[in-house]
Structure 1
């Protein structure tokens, strides 16, 4: 892979024991990312200034600008982590991404907490999300199916989704429940693709950038699962 120095060896060339050690580190870092996300989110929701500022960005073109900035930071963090050999730089990239993710979640979680039923809705959505993430990961590891064929479909699907989101913002129409369901399907496909493609993308010491990709798909799934739960009320 072009992002790897010549001395790096991809996981598919390593032993089963070495790959297992990599998977353990990767998923431990995904779990750590979730914990840090919860801490960041809790601190942000305690700040009235941050909450009000985040809510002010949900209107019209401001939300589009926020999404654009978030996508830029996501791409920057993933590339910086993947190209960096220094572990501190990889962790810094991961931290930047988690912080950006926590901020963009502030309006959704604020509404879920204060305009529905407290934390019950969030807890339910989190349980469903983790269950789906675990199940999809298990499918890859137990069946050993190569889901790399999903790449083109996922790319097209995400471009269509972004187009619908932009159109919804510009013309003021609600994308509705079925859009959230469709995005959950895309997020699930992304989890399958990224999990099965770990051995073809990363070297033994790149568990941090691998965790960023899985964490991103997990949070995308959580966003739209929570949207589905909120649509019931």
Structure 2
């Protein structure tokens, strides 16, 4: 089967480029909505909540992180390498479900805190504001942030090492680790948004949405951790 030739987003006409961006960010918004719906359904199922909580701490948490990283890599490869739209949606769907599951303990602890709902709202608003601001920087400057790839790879490798060490030796990574991860997540948003403009093809808007959603949720995770550390 011969696939139609695709064109880089940066080479499109202004109208077609705007259509690509609209499709991409619409799918990011839909992924967030699906995340909320799935999370709500998970919280209505005590068995799932209890199972997620049982994986906290020790080797169980490391195994869960390993599975989550595997699902992330699998979903991203599916979305990027396949030309089939149904496969793209399947990849985005399984990633959203994985995010919703791994967020169960974090959201549960946040809701149990004093003014938990207000804290969640504040963290969400800050996340969206930062995401929008960083995206705007890329669109306005039109700068290629692909040079961040090596920096991000090293940063995430170091962060993973610290997380594993923290679990094995039982120490808390603390506030500054979360601040560092927010900076890494911000860099990831710059990098992913830049790739969307300079590296992606016209038909890869679902893959672009998956990458942006992943960076958005990483940012939300650590902003929420910072808010929770104040209590």
Q: TM-score, normalised by structure 1?
A: 0.95
Residues 42-51 or 61-70, more deviating: 42-51
SS in 2 for 1:119: helix
Spell out the pairing of 1:49-128 with structure 2 (5 A cutoff): 49-128=47-126
Tell me which residue corresponds to 1:196. Answer: 194
- Offset of residue 131 of structure 1: 0.4
Matches within 5 A, 1:37-48: 37-48=35-46
CA deviation string 1:103-156 (max 9, x = no partner)? 000000001012332311111100000000000001111121221111111110
Aligned residues, how many?
229
| Alpha-carbon distance in structure 2 between the residues aligned to 1:83 and 1:151 | 19
Name the counterpart of 1:182.
180
Deviation of the 1:6 alpha carbon: 8.2
Hey, which bits of structure 1, 4+ residues long, moved more than 3 A?
none
Aligned pairs (5 A) from 1:12-23:
12-23=10-21
Residues 160-217 of structure 1, C-alpha deviations (whole Å, 9 max, x = no match): 0000000000000000000000000000000011111213322111100100000000
**In the alignment, structure 1 residue 133 sits paired with structure 2 residue 114:** no
Q: Indicate if the aligned counterparts of 2:9 and 2:197 stay in contact, CA closer than 8 A.
A: yes
Q: Report the RMSD for the aligned CA atoms in angstroms.
A: 1.2
Q: Is the 8 A contact 2:144 2:198 kept in 1?
A: no
5+ residue gaps, structure 1: none
Normalised TM-score (structure 2): 0.96
In structure 2, what is the Cα distance between the partners aligned to 1:41 and 1:221?
18
Asked if structure 1 preserves the Cα contact closer than 8 Å seen for 2:134 and 2:190, the reply is yes
Distance, in Å, in 1 between the alignment partners of 2:169 and 2:183 is: 25
